[in-house]
A and B are shown apart, each in its own frame.
Chain A
Amino acid sequence: MLKTIRIALWIAVAVSLVVVGVLFWRADRQEQAVAFRPEFSLPDEAGTIRTSEEFRGKHVLVFFGFTNCPDICPTTMSEVAQVMDDLGPEAEDVQPVFISVDPVRDRESGLDEYLAAFHPAILGLAGDEAQTRAAVESFKVFADPEKAASAPGGYTMSHSSSLYLIGPQGDWLRQFEYGTSADDITADLKERL
């Protein structure tokens, strides 16, 4: 009798383990099935609203920044410019997008002229506060005006400094952390194009 109970209990343990395993596996599958599709809808310098849907079919390299930053932003834009040059004809399938997290100042100082100095392919977008916040939240990045009297205009901007790669179907593919060399980014893109 005792033996039967023991066997039954062991069977119950085995069954529950299998059930838990299956549940985990299904949860994992569901997560993979729902792709992360970050969106933006922001005006370019001419005032035309540009959206993430517009670039379906292309790989989109997104960067959040502001042009009053002397170090990180020019460095990252230089890397992106180098990537676009090194891709050669395949660059047509890649769209670099710069989203301003300091849109008022960036519009005033001329975003297009600045970005074109790095590479003419880079699209600069600067919206109002709500549009910018929507894009920042959709990409799950961080951007926050940081009060610092030492910076021009009275503040600097803490911001996520990675490049985000969005696939041709609008799905998030990966990020390139700050400091990833142009060569590494180009190699990764060439494998996908």
Chain B
Amino acid sequence: MMKPLIAGLGLATLLPALALADCAKVSQGDLSVSAAWSRATIGTARPAVFYVTIQNTGSTDDRLTGIETPVAGMPMLHETVMTEGVASMPHAAAIDIPAGETISLAPGGFHGMLMDLEAELKEGESFPMTLQFEKAGKVSIDTEILPIRAREAACGVAP
């Protein structure tokens, strides 16, 4: 009676830990970059997306000025802006990462738009993404390719 219960409890604590372990986190200076994900694509005709969480634990502001990846010829930073229910997607020259704050590139807000895909993004695979920061320099992170229907990072946002 007790054994399955203990095993169950063990599993219950282990599973989220395992899931979180999938969430790669890369730290450099005051910045830590985590929960990088994208959605699978059908072919290469349509642009893919890039979402990520950036935490600035330092006391100086930084800025994300660009992204680079071997999977796309033209990756750009965009922001989805809602004005009275109408969405537009202007190019974002840079994204502020203020001191002590956590900024997420997430559905409905800032996002990377990966144009000119070199290959179809296949669910379950991953690709490298290099983020260029004004002060912290370049940070590279492995980006998980989630199903096309994914609504959020599979691993949750790392603390």
Residues of A whose CB lies within 8 Å of any CB of B are 67-72, 74-75, 77-79, 81-82, 108-110, 113-114, 117-119, 142, 146, 148, 150-152, 156, 158-162, 175, 177-179
Contact = CB atoms under 8 A, between A and B. Distances in A.
Contacts of A175: 85
A109 B46 contact: yes
Interface of B: 39-40, 42-43, 45-49, 76, 78, 80, 82, 85-91, 107-108, 111, 113-116, 148-151
A75 B108 contact: yes
A74 B113 CA distance: 13
A152 B85 contact: no
A117 B148 contact: yes
Contacts of B87: 72, 158-161, 178
A176 B49 CA distance: 24
Contacts of A114: 42, 46
Chain A contact residues, majority secondary structure: mixed
A75 to B, nearest CB: 4
Given A71-B49, A178-B108, A118 B148 contact: yes
B85 A162 contact: yes
A70 B47 contact: yes
A16 to B, nearest CB: 38
Given A72-B80, A159-B87, 15 more contacts: A68-B46, A72-B89, A74-B49, A78-B149, A110-B42, A117-B42, A117-B148, A142-B86, A151-B89, A152-B115, A158-B87, A160-B86, A161-B86, A161-B87, A178-B82
Contacts of B116: 152
B91 A150 contact: yes
A148 B115 CA distance: 14
A70 to B, nearest CB: 4
A35 B70 CA distance: 53
Contacts of A161: 82, 85-87
Given A148-B91, A158-B86, A161-B82, A79 B151 contact: yes
A178 B83 CA distance: 11
Given A72-B80, A75-B151, A158-B88, A113 B107 contact: no
Contacts of B114: 70
B42 A113 contact: yes
A81 B89 CA distance: 23
A152 B148 CA distance: 20
A159 B90 CA distance: 13
A72 B113 CA distance: 12
B107 A71 contact: yes
A74 B86 contact: no
Nearest to A118: B149
23 contacts: A67-B46, A70-B111, A70-B113, A71-B78, A72-B87, A72-B89, A75-B151, A78-B149, A82-B151, A108-B45, A110-B42, A114-B42, A146-B88, A151-B113, A156-B88, A156-B89, A158-B86, A158-B87, A159-B86, A161-B82, A161-B87, A178-B82, A178-B108
